[in-house]
Amino acid sequence: MKTPLLIEQHFHGAYGVDFNKAGVNEIIELASKLREIGIGGFFPTLVTDSIENTKRQIGIIKEASKLCRGILGIHLEGIFINPKKKGIHNPEHFLPLTVENYQKIEDDFIKIVTLAPELDGGLIEYLHSKGVKIQAGHCIGGFNSTIDGATHTFNAMSPVTHRGASTALSALIEDSVFAEIIADGIHVSDEALKLFFKAKPIDKVILVSDALPITYSDIKETTFADSKIFYDGNRATSADGTIAGSTKLLPEIIKILAKKGLFKPEYIENIYNYHNLDFVGEIEWDSEFNIIQIK
């Protein structure tokens, strides 16, 4: 079977590289390693940080993109999210969802913003006018089709409920909305995965890793989002047990899904359609979803 190269739109780093800290050369070297395992493009994802550090890293990632076509834009996850669903993010850096606050870090290389729609103070309309993808995440409210996507569905959002609206319900029932899912075997149960894939139209599923910088490295303890993170060989958590992100990348996640009978090749193409991207290469897979060849 052949598919386009993988595109990762929610990804904090790997091989020891942290997008909130990395320099230009580190990011370019990471892109080369990712290409070797079938990931042809990615959106470096910035976790909540200070305005100063966020602006610095936006500049560094943008500079790296001039030398590496696989860097497709920045995913800003944080700053504009709900403290009630903060996950691993540091609430000291959160800001109200206003145009004025966004303009403190605004850059045309920001392509995706994860935010809490229920806290909107005019930012959503502004981002729409700039052509930025808006994703509901780390939030508690329901949303409608004015939102483009849902960030890591089920995680850090109000759950499915049979009374009233919730973020997870909106992610499942809004057919026009693209929805991320972390299918690493840690973040979402098999039962919830089955519900997700039954509810979402095939062309609106976005597979993501939400991988941490410790992914595919020898690091067992690190600082991420201002918190100490511990990796036990299976999952990465903060000291209080909060899951900090994944330690697997998309090729491994696809293999996990395939073994469960939940993978469809169309899922790989969806990210291209979501961002109107041209195909950047091709992967040939065997029947067990091991990668045979990358072109």
Q: Which residues are catalytic?
A: 210
First-to-final CA distance of the chain: 13
Q: Please provide residue 226's backbone torsions phi and psi, each rounded to the nearest 5 degrees.
A: 65, 15
Compute the chain's Rg from CA coordinates: 18
Asked if residue 74 lies in contact with residue 66, where contact means CB atoms within 8 angstroms, the answer is no
